[in-house]
Structure 1
Amino acid sequence: MSAGEFAELPAAALRRDSADLNLYVDVLSVNLADSLPPGAVRVERRRSLSERLAGHEGSVAALDVTFGERRLLLRNDRGRVTGEICHEVRGITLSRRQVGLDEWIDALAGSLADAAASNARSREAVERFLA
């Protein structure tokens, strides 16, 4: 498989289940957190009182994924999903760009492919994510 073909796999996998946005963001957050190194994924959840009383986690309000100096933030405001791509150096945000879901998915797929190309451990993480 060529590097270009490998880079297209994550985007296709990421798009395949995006019809129900709330469920999509929940599943994506779990898969990324399980596949990427500790600290690379932060998930912020929103829980109603009934969810708290029932012991449920609640729905994902924000998904924050960091790849080196690139930070990808996806916010879910009750089904309205917005994306943001940031360039950060040593905790300082140098640029921030609002994007739609498709562009955010493309950026995530590109970052996953870059990480996979950089070392074997990252490639295994991406392959686990795609499985």
Structure 2
Amino acid sequence: MTSAPDPVPFEHGGEPDSLDLLTAALRRDAADLDVYARVLSGTLAEALPPGSVAVERKRGMADRLAGREGRVRRVEVLLGEQRLVLDLAGGHPQGEVCKEVRGVVLSRRPVELDTWVRELATAVAARARSDARARVALERLVLGE
């Protein structure tokens, strides 16, 4: 008996499975916040249009001397009218989902990390349906390449 091929994560259709895969991939390294922040910010910056991802880092003297970028403190993702903010300062991630129109924030909603990741996955999956570059980068993220 042959089984049906696995759905391609970001092709049109198959929305629930692909969203679950993306959510799992985005959450994969969350146990170590430093690793999670680096992977998340790098993957998003690669997958989304320039200017969609802003990363704030804290760079100490040791980082400067070693030529390192420093630790990620905050990640902001702007997709259409939705701004997703993840604040990692203090070792406890705090998420926020904002509705923003023309630079004016109309609403803010604090959320837990799992909810933030799910909101991000939904917004990024929608973007990947219409952007081939985003689709390829996110498929690499889901497949762990």
TM-score normalised to structure 2 length? 0.82
Q: Indicate which of 6, 28, 50 corresponds to 2:62.
A: 50
Equivalent in the alignment of 1:77: 89
Does the CA contact (< 8 Å) of 2:43 and 2:137 recur in 1? no
Does the CA contact (< 8 Å) of 2:47 and 2:135 recur in 1? no
Shift of 1:14: 1.2
Shift of 1:120: 4.3
Does the CA contact (< 8 Å) of 1:48 and 1:58 recur in 2? yes
Aligned pair count reads 130
Residue range with higher mean Cα deviation, 81-90 or 48-57: 48-57
CA offsets, 1:35-72, max 9 Å, x none? Answer: 21111111111011221122211000110111100010
Q: Does 1:65 align with 2:90?
A: no
What are the ranges of 5 or more consecutive residues in structure 1 without an aligned counterpart? none
CA offsets, 1:51-100, max 9 Å, x none? Answer: 11222110001101111000101111142211110000111101001111
The alpha-carbon distance between structure 1 residues 120 and 44, as it changes in their structure 2 partners (threshold 3 A), is closer
Partner amino acid, structure 2, of 1:84: E
Does the CA contact (< 8 Å) of 2:23 and 2:121 recur in 1? yes
Residue range with higher mean Cα deviation, 119-128 or 102-111: 119-128
Secondary structure at 2:50 match in 1: coil
Q: What is the alpha-carbon distance in structure 2 between the residues aligned to residue 120 and residue 43 of structure 1?
A: 22
Q: Does 1:10 align with 2:22?
A: yes
Shift of 1:13: 0.7
Q: What is the alpha-carbon distance in structure 1 between the residues aligned to residue 111 and residue 29 of structure 2?
A: 19
Secondary structure at 2:31 match in 1: coil
Partner amino acid, structure 2, of 1:105: V
Q: Does 1:101 align with 2:107?
A: no
Partner amino acid, structure 2, of 1:45: R
Partner amino acid, structure 2, of 1:16: R
Matched residues, percent identical? 48
What are the ranges of 5 or more consecutive residues in structure 2 without an aligned counterpart? 1-6, 8-13
**RMSD value over aligned CA atoms?**
1.5
Q: Does 1:87 align with 2:87?
A: no
TM-score normalised to structure 1 length? 0.90
Does the CA contact (< 8 Å) of 2:83 and 2:97 recur in 1? yes
**Greater Cα radius of gyration, structure 1 or 2:** 2
